[in-house]
Amino acid sequence: MTLMLLDSASLWYRAYFGMPDTLLSPSGEPVNAIRGYLDMTSKLISIYKPKRLVACIEGDWRPSWRVDLFPEYKANRLDVEGEEEEPDTLGPQIPILLDLLEAFKIPIVGVDDYEADDVMASYTVSEPGPIKIVTGDRDLFQLVDDKRKISVVYLAKGIANHDLVDLRWIAEKYDIPGERYALFAMIRGDASDGLPGIRGIGEKGAAIIAKQFENLEEVMLAAKNNDERLTPNARKKLLESADYARIAPKLVHCALDVPLPKLNIDLPKRPNNLDEIYQYQRDYGLGASVDRLIAALQW
């Protein structure tokens, strides 16, 4: 009864940049993100054969509670109007894609003031495994749990060369205990989210620390007590970033208590007719991308 959670924004961004912008609807509108998203979803369903499926979306890409903690959170992505920067021809495709997913009866879940990451994390604690989290975002490695069969289908190298991330994969990639990815990420930081981490330590230093400590509170206590497991320079950098270290766990950890809607997340069954879906296919020139999803769902 595998549950597949789609990090939808990650998928449509990858689709948009990975598919040619010459893919147009009959009226000349770009549909590359729509087609790419459908193609990726079809391929993933065919490979992993989930019995449950949720397309997770952002309720808020900069939740107020994270911004209150750290005003610089994702501020590097704001445009002059204070909105998230995105390509001009991507935005108009998203409502069409979501409408089409609704026509397919694929559950779409976004919750106000939470990111899609938080939605997916909350599903990992409220639903039984196996769970496959599909994303191009390494932040979600913190959710990997071999005992509960939670893994990440990591799309950084594309669908054809994607990685299935378990604790061993994390350990080999970053030279840390796999279950300590969140600690490693707090110290390293993430420039794409505007998160500085512990300034001056970097990825290698973060890995060394994550191999010796289980959580950031323990690390900071060691720094204050001149613990010899930390170099003098690391202790200095940690204490200089003490204010950030206090908020980093809440900032970086995914929320696990999102109020998820009660809905049926079983793989959708074939509706009585596919007229609405075929209408979208014709109106937007989606061709074989729609056919492939129909085939993957075994309708």
Q: How far apart are CA 144 and CA 180, in angstroms?
A: 10
Rounded mean pLDDT of 242-247? Answer: 96
Strand order, beta sheet including 3-7: 108-109, 52-56, 3-7, 131-135, 150-154, 163-165
Q: Where are the domains of the chain?
A: 3-166+255-296, 178-252
Rounded mean pLDDT of 261-270? Answer: 96
The mean pLDDT of the chain is: 96
The answer to whether 3-166+255-296 and 178-252 have equal CATH topology is: no
Number of C-beta neighbours around residue 177 at 10 A: 16
Q: Quick one: pLDDT band at residue 83, thresholds 50, 70, 90?
A: confident
The CATH code for residues 3-166+255-296 is 3.40.50.1010
The superfamily CATH assigns to domain 178-252 is 5' to 3' exonuclease, C-terminal subdomain (1.10.150.20)
pLDDT in tens, 128-168: 999 999 999 999 999 999 999 999 999 999 999 999 999 99
Rounded mean pLDDT of 212-239? Answer: 95
Rounded mean pLDDT of 113-117? Answer: 98
Question: Which one-letter amino acid corresponds to residue 295?
Answer: A
Contact indicator for 2, 54 with CB cutoff of 8 Å: no
Q: Quick one: pLDDT band at residue 185, thresholds 50, 70, 90?
A: very high
Q: How far apart are CA 110 and CA 63, in angstroms?
A: 12
- The values of phi and psi at residue 128, to 5°, are -75, 155
pTM of full prediction above 0.75: yes
Where helices occur in the chain by DSSP H, the ranges are 8-18, 32-48, 64-69, 93-103, 116-126, 167-174, 181-188, 202-210, 216-224, 232-240, 242-252, 275-284, 287-296
Q: Quick one: pLDDT band at residue 82, thresholds 50, 70, 90?
A: confident
**What pLDDT score does 212 carry?**
96
**What pLDDT score does 86 carry?**
85
Question: Which one-letter amino acid corresponds to residue 156?
Answer: A
Q: How far apart are CA 270 and CA 256, in angstroms?
A: 32
Rounded mean pLDDT of 78-103? Answer: 90
Rounded mean pLDDT of 50-72? Answer: 96
Rounded mean pLDDT of 266-291? Answer: 96
pLDDT in tens, 26-40: 999 999 999 999 999
**What pLDDT score does 122 carry?**
98
Q: How far apart are CA 297 and CA 42, in angstroms?
A: 8
Q: Which of 97, 104, 137, 96 is nearest to 120 (CA)?
A: 137
